[in-house]
Amino acid sequence: MTTAAIIVAAGRGTRAGGDIPKQWQIIGGRPVAAHAMARFANHPAITQLILVLHPDDIDTPLWPREPAATIVAGGATRAASVQAGLAAAGPDIDTVLIHDAARPLISDAVIDRVLAALATSVGAAPALVVTDTLWHGAEATVTGVQDRTGLFRAQTPQGFHLGPLREAHAASTGQETDDVAVARAAGLDVSIVAGDEANIKITTPEDFVRAAELMRHTMTSLPDIRCGNGYDVHRFGPGDHVWLCGVQIPHTRSLQGHSDADVGMHAVTDAIYGALGKGDIGQHFPPSDPQWKGAASHIFLEHAVALAASQGFSIGNADCTLVCEYPKIGPHHDAMKAVMSAYMGIESDRISVKATTSEKLGFTGREEGIAAIATVTLIKP
Ligand code: MG
């Protein structure tokens, strides 16, 4: 089964308020529609993402360019917009999931349930059993009670085998309010799977408040971003070279320390441990342990990177400042970035190594030692 997700974002959303259509208003740091786009794009079963836009929106910066999607102009009705999306499905696609852009809190679990049902059913859609009592009313007076037995609240994504749904749309009146209605009008059976109370459709201004609150609680769409800092100092002693950010630099003295005393690499390593809340180099590699005497500092850095990866974090960037009068760092800057990026497994343009003097003030100014300070960000999607 190869599946395309069609995000229908061609409506104007006038009931939600605001100066722009509701699907492009910002919630949880990005446009409403971007949340669902990311959810489907990241789902392993989805091989094509199709975004149906209002023709007026196509040349605007409103809609997210990431994740990559097949862009389609919608039609005058919802049915026409869905038909445009169906026409854009690639030749290898055999099932489609059609989703409202205004449902940003769609979960993998609901997507999985729809996909599972499509293995045995031509159509499947999530819904919730109606539990509130339903009234008929007129002029603010209750005129009767509706039996709620067998009533469901429909949600999306609504999933179908592509061929039968295309035929159903071709035969439709264009007046149906969703794809389940189109499918049923064509005689197709549609299975009901369990929906999700959080999978709300943003319709009114109050819905934005509720959706933002749900996002804070579920964290379904927000990455975990951590920041850590590191600071280190090593004193000068006898010798003819220093190690700084993994590069050996000839000098009139050497930095003293239990390991190779690479003060820059130590600061970056401690920043990673700091972002993880996992102590520092001394805790993981005690100076009292003779096996680390003279150790190459990349052992520490690689340990911190692996610890971050084991917890699902990748490194966003690292910024390290070396504080010394000499040696001059500039000639070695590119080599340091290359070495650090290799040990950290990230592109060198995510690493910064800078240097400053301290205007001959303090211990670094008197050339008694070198200090380093570093900041690192970690990201878990
Ligand atoms: Mg150190």
Per-residue confidence (pLDDT) for residue 222, from 0 to 100: 66
Per-residue confidence (pLDDT) for residue 380, from 0 to 100: 83
For residue 260, give its domain range. 224-380
Ligand 1 mean position, distance from CA 303 (Å): 15
Ligand 1 mean position, distance from CA 276 (Å): 19
3-state helix, strand, coil split of the chain in percent (to 5) is 35, 30, 40
Question: Rounded to 5 degrees, what angle do the CA atoms 113, 9, 53 make?
Answer: 130
* Whether 129 and 245 share a structural domain: no
* Whether 154 and 135 share a structural domain: yes
Ligand 1 mean position, distance from CA 346 (Å): 23
Compute the average pLDDT of residues 108-133.
97
Ligand 1 mean position, distance from CA 184 (Å): 70
Compute the average pLDDT of residues 96-103.
97
- CATH code at 97? 3.90.550.10
Ligand 1 mean position, distance from CA 342 (Å): 20
Ligand 1 mean position, distance from CA 379 (Å): 25
Q: Is the pLDDT of residue 122 over 90?
A: yes
Question: Rounded to 5 degrees, what angle do the CA atoms 124, 128, 131 make?
Answer: 155
The pLDDT tens digits for 35-80 are 999 999 999 999 999 999 999 999 988 888 888 999 999 998 999 9
The pLDDT tens digits for 139-179 are 899 999 999 999 999 999 999 999 999 999 999 987 888 99
Residue finishing a domain among 221, 248, 266? 221
Ligand 1 mean position, distance from CA 9 (Å): 54
Q: Is the pLDDT of residue 211 over 90?
A: yes
Ligand 1 mean position, distance from CA 232 (Å): 5
63 vs 110, which has greater pLDDT? Answer: 110
Ligand 1 mean position, distance from CA 235 (Å): 10
Q: Is the pLDDT of residue 368 over 60?
A: yes
> Token digits for 37?
């786009």
Beta strand segments in the chain, E: 3-9, 26-27, 30-31, 46-53, 70-73, 95-100, 123-129, 134-138, 141-146, 152-154, 158-161, 190-194, 224-237, 241-244, 247-250, 254-255, 314-323, 351-356, 369-380
Ligand 1 mean position, distance from CA 227 (Å): 20
Per-residue confidence (pLDDT) for residue 107, from 0 to 100: 94
Q: Is the pLDDT of residue 14 over 70?
A: no
Residue finishing a domain among 191, 221, 251? 221
Ligand 1 mean position, distance from CA 256 (Å): 9
